[in-house]
Amino acid sequence: MFRERFDASLENIRMSPIVSISEEVRRRSREFEKSGRSMIRFQRGEIDFSTPQFIISAAKEGLDRGLTKYPKSGGEDFLKQSILRKLEREQGVNDLSPDNIVVTYGGQEGLELSFKLFSNGAGFSPTWSCALENFVPYAGLDFTEIPLKDDFSVDYERLEANVRGKDFFYLNNPQNPTGKVFDKGELKTIVDICTRNGCYIISDEAYEKFVYDGLEHRSTIQYCQENIIAIFTMSKSFSMTGWRIGYVVTRNKRIAQLLRLGNYTQTAGVTTFLQYAAAKALDDQANADRAIGEMKAEFAKRRDALYSGLERLPGIRLSKPEGAFYMFPNFTEVIPPHVRGKQREKYIYELLMQQGIATVYGSCFGRHFVDNVRLSFSATPVDQIEEAIGRFEQIFSKRSAA
């Protein structure tokens, strides 16, 4: 009697398999732990550091100051000023004003609203699963996946051919799930290709603070162009995933205005006292540098332990992540050729799970990388990584000897 299908923008969203994987990990951990060993978790992008105390204190101070009323649409001026200072200090950008900024509920809302501006787009494959499973159907978009090469470098001809006629290109730098950092030259070429094809760039910079080996994050906002929509978040940089606060920066004031309207319509703006805490996080450089430095040093250690352990194993092809906290090894050489289709998608995932190693299978990040799995080292300490390497050795040395 009542309608059973609802608007396509919601009906077509698929819940990320990463959520169901986490449920499966919980269930299988109980089984696995009966053998006296623990499940080693590499499946989630959650960070095992707490939000720094100075930010928590600032949120309390915000409450005490009475910042409990409706927020200003698109963000409070004090936070926008902090963001402008940050952009000048870190990226040398000084031609922007508060009108170029929209404060959002995490990077997620900034991305979702930006995707909604358009009717078709493209992005590299592999790509963050949420872009494919949530933003694309929610915005009702056509989306073209452009595969990176095996070493995650860019095939520029393919990029040019595929962005032609597209409204936007989604770029995630540093990248989830590969840990790839697009360097200055790559970034410039990508931006040039998009620009000469009349294409906007939705630039997801969620992992801006996690680049290793002395590299520096270069934001696309450094390019003085109206086709750039840069999305930032407090979630990863300050381990504030549950606070839900981020911001969009664009020189295109028409776009900023539309995003502000979208943000107002959806949520009427981000919780006022949290904006106060976010401003403190950006302004208190000494505390921020200390907190970020500590996380970054720990992630670098974990990355090194994971990389040097896996690098030695036969049949696993991997690139050392330069940023973020993910590794995306490929197992083509160890998957028997007769294993195909759905069975192939989960082959390595299942093999690892049986040894108590939880990962995410590559097809969650697009259809071109089914022989990969993603390992997140955001919440796996080095001793557990070493234990995991021992288990990898058992699985893969045995297989190559056979």
Q: Which residues bind ligand PMP (CB under 6 A)?
A: 45, 106-108, 128, 172, 176, 204, 206, 233, 235, 241, 246
Q: How far is the CB of 204 from ligand PMP (least distance, A)?
A: 5
Beta-bridge partners for 123: 145, 170
Q: Which is nearer to ligand PMP, 96 or 364 (CB)?
A: 364
Q: What's the closest the beta carbon of residue 328 comes to ligand PMP, in angstroms?
A: 13
With vertex at residue 203, the alpha carbon angle to CA 272 and CA 200, rounded to the nearest 5 degrees, is 115
CA 328 remoteness from chain centre = 13
In the complex, the smallest distance separating the C-beta of residue 358 from ligand PMP, rounded to whole angstroms, is 17
Of 177, 209, 174, 207, the residue nearest 322 (C-alpha): 174
**Which residue's CB comes closest to ligand PMP?**
106
Minimum Å gap between C-beta 128 and ligand PMP is 4
Cis peptide before 147 (omega within 30 of 0): no
CB of 377 to ligand PMP, least distance (A): 14
Angle between helices 272-283 and 53-64 (to 10 degrees): 140
Q: Kindly state the smallest distance separating residue 136's Cβ from ligand PMP, in Å.
A: 14
Nearer to ligand PMP, 323 or 356 (CB): 323
Place of tokens 């000494």: 286
Query: Among 161, 245, 246, 162, which Cα is nearest to 203's?
Result: 246
The two three-digit tokens of residue 50, written as one number? 């707490």
Q: Which is nearer to ligand PMP, 128 or 328 (CB)?
A: 128
Q: How far is CA 22 from the centre of its chain?
A: 17
CA 69 to chain CA centroid, Å, is: 31
Cβ nearer to ligand PMP, comparing 79 with 335: 79
Choose between 200 and 365: whose C-beta lies nearer to ligand PMP.
Answer: 365
Q: Which of 232, 206, 169, 241 lies closest to 326, judged by CA?
A: 206
Tell me, what amino acid is at 97? S
Instruction: Tell me how far, at minimum, the Cβ of 222 lies from ligand PMP, in Å.
Output: 19
| Integer Rg of the chain from CA | 21
Nearer to ligand PMP, 181 or 389 (CB): 181
Residue closer to ligand PMP by CB (options 172, 363) is: 172
User: Where are any strands of DSSP class E within 81-196?
Assistant: 101-104, 120-125, 142-147, 168-172
